[in-house]
A and B are shown apart, each in its own frame.
Chain A
Amino acid sequence: MERFDRTVATGMPTPMHLTEEELGWVDWQLTLPGFGLEKQYKLKSSTALVSRVGGVGSPAAASLAMAGIGRLILAHGGHVEPFHMNRWPLASTEQIGRVNPAVSAAERIRKLNPHVEVVAVPEFVSPENVQRLVAQADIVVDGAPYFEERHLLNRECVRQKKPMVEAAAAGMEGFVTTVIPGETPCIQCLGFHSKDWSLPFPILGAVSGTVANLAALEAIKVLTGYGEPLRGILLFLDGVSSSFRRIKVRRNPACPVCGDRP
């Protein structure tokens, strides 16, 4: 492992947490200018909670696993259903009606990268489990279709001061933004409401998958401190024209969740 020796020689922390096999795994990532072992180690020592491993959550979780995150907690209730299959790249057809989505995604992610610890929580984020789930994570990736669930997670992330990547897709559109409590607007400030999208809204896998990978990139940037996350910026994807818009968003000082006097 030439790279391994070189970094030891340059006085970097000895990467005791990465085995030689893992180093071979992320070899092409370590050659990124300015990325290197230090950032890789930050990823390795991080835990991400992914709420719902559907069209947005499952590819985001897979990309985080491939990038070498240490631990993933996947929360999703119910079973894999046939109508999920047009946008869930980790589910397989024989699991339909039988297997829980979190279990299905965890199984597939362990095969994608066996060095990642994957915890499958076969339930949706709820008022009962939200505090416990968020407490275990360094970052939260939110891919829930219901805004009640998103607001619940948002309140808990703000309370525990955990960064949260908000990603959603519906129809041919989607958006991504990163919430850093106390610094950026939270999703309450943005004023999203469930009535904006009624289920079952149409959705194309290639749109949710694009948003998902952007969400994974956000999580990687926040966890490693490399690059500029979408702080206070909503990145909108219009899949019809394949164009993006960056929209600046501001904190609401009177926000009941993250405002100055909550």
Chain B
Amino acid sequence: MTRGDIAYRAPPGPLLSQEQSERYSRQINLDEIGPRGQARLLRSKVAIVGAGGLGSPTAIYLAAAGVGTIGLIDADRVDRSNLHRQPLHFDHRVGRLKVRSGSCHLKSLNPDINVEEHPVRLSSENALEILCGYDVIVNGSDNFPTRYLVNDACVMLGKPLVDASILRWEGRLSVFMPGQGCYRCLFPNPPAPGTIPSCAEGGVVGAVAGVLGTMQALETIKVLLGVDGVLSDRTLVMDALAGCFRIIRWHRRLNCPACGEVRAIRKLIDYELFCGVPGSATAAGHSPIPNMTLRGGPVATSKVDAASAVQWLGDPDVLWIDVRESWEFKKGRVPGSRLIPLHDLSVKMDQIPRHRTIVSVCRTGHRSGVAVEILRGAGRDKAFSMDGGLLGWENHGYPLEHENASESAS
């Protein structure tokens, strides 16, 4: 999207009222904003899919920044177990519709803005109609069918999509600008049947949702302002336990069924069927290994736990790929594993045989989950991510191989 894409008509008189100049003064003096940028934000409309862990901080910071219209899309009601990560909702509003609870809070933060409540579950029937009225769409949904639905709808409508997902202490964030690739370019296939996320099982930390949700607001503001530096064709991956962030570059796929040269997806499909949600026609499992359920984005398709994986040690048919950085690899690794850092994986794909069983390993299981997505996308169907990573491996007391003893002790 360029600056010209949001219809802008200069109002008669000053761009901002006295009250607005005062309220937004500390951000108007940013080079990226200025009075014109602030007026642009006030005229902008942003839809947030899901008023939960990610959507809460996004909505709060968009409201604080003076984004004129915020559309909240969520059919759920506030539950007590939501509160540890959803600062849009308060204890005394348990039981109320999330869009209403959120709207109350946003209006008290900033009465200058307009909140549109959509207490519905986004579906193939209503998505285009609801989303078409907004300039940017933010995806804070907690399930894969909605994630693919929102992506396809944004591609069809030509809307920028800001997309984040979280899992335990980790998360990722990308921006999909029209014509520059979409979620399906990055994750062509939904996770295998049976891996549909369960928030309760994976566990989440509120502050991780806070970081990623707030950064979604930051990216949205940058897209609305039309400034450089937006996280398009890049993905930010966060590991909060280690305090590490990485940026993974990726490219639009010319053969993407949603945004590629030949667009196979011309209308919204049945996304539950596409993702193989239990109960729909494609839900028969095909993975030989029982899958764990995860929350958030497609950070893993198939996983193997450390206790099962250890039985593959020494098996010549199994290829162990360590996707961490070289300095981490030197400190200790699964014996016989081979180092291919995640950011090199796509480039070195031709060195990875197609028909071997592959176990990808990282520190916690997050990067290796992303690696499995990439491996499976490239036809390595027997790729698995080791659940819990090296931390879990070490916790079981399984053998580690070191470069040398002094380094491993550091």
Q: Which A residues contact B (CB, under 8 angstroms)?
A: 21, 24-35, 59, 62-63, 66-68, 82-83, 85-89, 91-94, 108, 111-114, 171-172, 176, 200-207, 209-210, 212-214, 216-218, 220-221, 226-230, 233, 235, 239-244, 246
Separation of A242 and B237 alpha carbons in the complex (Å)? 11
Chain B residues positioned under 8 Å from A27 (CB to CB)? 81, 200
Separation of A29 and B85 alpha carbons in the complex (Å)? 9
A92 touches B92 (CB 8 A): no
B61 touches A206 (CB 8 A): yes
Closest to A230 in B: B243
Instruction: Determine which of A28, A207, A227 lies in contact with B204 in the assembled complex, contact meaning CB atoms within 8 Å.
Output: A28
A93 touches B109 (CB 8 A): yes
B84 touches A93 (CB 8 A): no
Contacts of B25-71 to chain A: CB distance below 8 A: 25-30, 32-33, 57, 60-61, 64-66
27 contacts between A and B (CB under 8 A): A21-B80, A28-B85, A29-B84, A29-B206, A31-B201, A31-B202, A32-B169, A59-B57, A63-B87, A63-B207, A66-B83, A66-B84, A67-B206, A82-B23, A83-B23, A86-B65, A205-B61, A205-B64, A206-B215, A209-B217, A227-B240, A227-B242, A233-B243, A240-B229, A242-B173, A242-B236, A246-B244
B318 proximal to A (CB < 8 A): no
Chain B residues positioned under 8 Å from A114 (CB to CB)? 91
Instruction: Determine which of B169, B229, B247 lies in contact with A227 in the assembled complex, contact meaning CB atoms within 8 Å.
Output: B169
A240 touches B32 (CB 8 A): yes
B65 touches A204 (CB 8 A): yes
B218 touches A62 (CB 8 A): no
Encode B238-251 as 1/0 by CB contact (under 8 A) with A.
00111111010000
Chain B residues positioned under 8 Å from A83 (CB to CB)? 22-23, 25-26
B111 proximal to A (CB < 8 A): yes
Instruction: Determine which of B109, B229, B395 lies in contact with A92 in the assembled complex, contact meaning CB atoms within 8 Å.
Output: B109
The minimal Cβ–Cβ distance linking A41 to chain B, given in whole angstroms, is 15
Q: Which B residues contact A (CB, under 8 angstroms)?
A: 19, 22-30, 32-33, 57, 60-61, 64-66, 80-81, 83-85, 87, 90-92, 108-111, 168-169, 173, 199-208, 210-211, 214-215, 217-219, 221-222, 227-231, 236, 240-245, 247, 388, 391-392, 395
The minimal Cβ–Cβ distance linking A61 to chain B, given in whole angstroms, is 11
A172 touches B207 (CB 8 A): no
Q: Given A217-B240, A227-B242, is A112 in contact with B83 using a C-beta cutoff of 8 Å?
A: yes
B168 touches A228 (CB 8 A): no
B110 touches A93 (CB 8 A): yes
Interface-centre pick from B24, B30, B201 (highest chain A CB count, 10 A): B30
A242 touches B219 (CB 8 A): yes
A243 touches B203 (CB 8 A): no
A88 touches B84 (CB 8 A): no
Separation of A87 and B24 alpha carbons in the complex (Å)? 9
Separation of A24 and B204 alpha carbons in the complex (Å)? 14
Closest to A36 in B: B203
Q: Given A67-B207, A243-B245, is A203 in contact with B26 using a C-beta cutoff of 8 Å?
A: yes
The minimal Cβ–Cβ distance linking A144 to chain B, given in whole angstroms, is 16
Chain B residues positioned under 8 Å from A226 (CB to CB)? 241
Instruction: Determine which of A63, A85, A171 lies in contact with B206 in the assembled complex, contact meaning CB atoms within 8 Å.
Output: A63
Closest to A219 in B: B207
Separation of A62 and B209 alpha carbons in the complex (Å)? 13
B203 touches A66 (CB 8 A): no
Closest to A244 in B: B245
Instruction: Determine which of A26, A86, A220 lies in contact with B24 in the assembled complex, contact meaning CB atoms within 8 Å.
Output: A86
The minimal Cβ–Cβ distance linking A50 to chain B, given in whole angstroms, is 14
A28 touches B218 (CB 8 A): no
Separation of A145 and B39 alpha carbons in the complex (Å)? 27
Q: Given A87-B26, A210-B215, A213-B211, is A228 in contact with B203 using a C-beta cutoff of 8 Å?
A: no
Q: Given A63-B210, A210-B214, is A28 in contact with B87 using a C-beta cutoff of 8 Å?
A: no
Instruction: Determine which of A200, A201, A239 lies in contact with B218 in the assembled complex, contact meaning CB atoms within 8 Å.
Output: A239
B81 touches A25 (CB 8 A): yes
A93 touches B108 (CB 8 A): yes
Q: Given A25-B84, A33-B168, A114-B91, is A206 in contact with B22 using a C-beta cutoff of 8 Å?
A: no
B81 touches A66 (CB 8 A): no
The minimal Cβ–Cβ distance linking A163 to chain B, given in whole angstroms, is 15
Chain A residues positioned under 8 Å from B204 (CB to CB)? 28-29, 32
A242 touches B81 (CB 8 A): no
B203 touches A218 (CB 8 A): no
Chain B residues positioned under 8 Å from A242 (CB to CB)? 173, 215, 218-219, 222, 229-231, 236
Instruction: Determine which of B57, B83, B168, B205 lies in contact with A25 in the assembled complex, contact meaning CB atoms within 8 Å.
Output: B83
